[in-house]
Amino acid sequence: MRIMCLDVGQKRIGIALSDSMGWTAQGHSVLQRTSGDDMARISALCSENEVETIVVGFPLNMNGTEGPKAMEIKEYARELAEYTGLRVELWDERLTTVTAEKILIQADVSRRKRKQVIDKMAATVILQSYLDSHTGK
């Protein structure tokens, strides 16, 4: 069984999946958000990939407090758990986009291409952090 991670933004959702052993995270895709069917598409991806847990990036403030965006994501995660029937966990995503950007720059990815994959890469960074904390790495 796999773990899926979502980096939920206003326009796009970055998606990453773990390997079947739950050791490594791989970028999967970027879902363009549309009105109303995001959860159905995520649920279908979960079924296709035998996902048992969904990790959602939780945008805490730098001081660790929850702002308006964190509250919005908390509600999204609650609705997603209800919709999919899967366990949904929130995971601190502070500085993951910055980390993802640095990784892509080091890999010499063009600015245009970075914009297309940054959400997927951020989801991968979040998921790897989650996996590492649960496997003792």
CATH of the domain at 21: 3.30.420.140
* pLDDT (0 to 100) of residue 42: 94
- The domain containing residue 91 runs over which residues? 2-135
Residues in the chain predicted with pLDDT less than 50, given as ranges, are 137
Split into its structural domains, the chain has a count of 1
Q: Could you read off the pLDDT of 101-112 as tens digits, one per residue?
A: 677 667 766 667
* pLDDT (0 to 100) of residue 116: 64
- One-letter-per-residue 3-state SS of 42-91: HHHHHHHCCEEEEEEEECCCCCCCCCHHHHHHHHHHHHHHHHHCCEEEEE
- Virtual torsion, Cα 125, 51, 92, 21, nearest 10 deg: -60
* pLDDT (0 to 100) of residue 104: 65
For 63, other C-beta atoms within 10 Å of its C-beta total 7
* pLDDT (0 to 100) of residue 121: 79
* pLDDT (0 to 100) of residue 22: 87
* pLDDT (0 to 100) of residue 47: 96
Instruction: Report the distance separating Cα 55 and Cα 77, nearest Å.
Output: 9
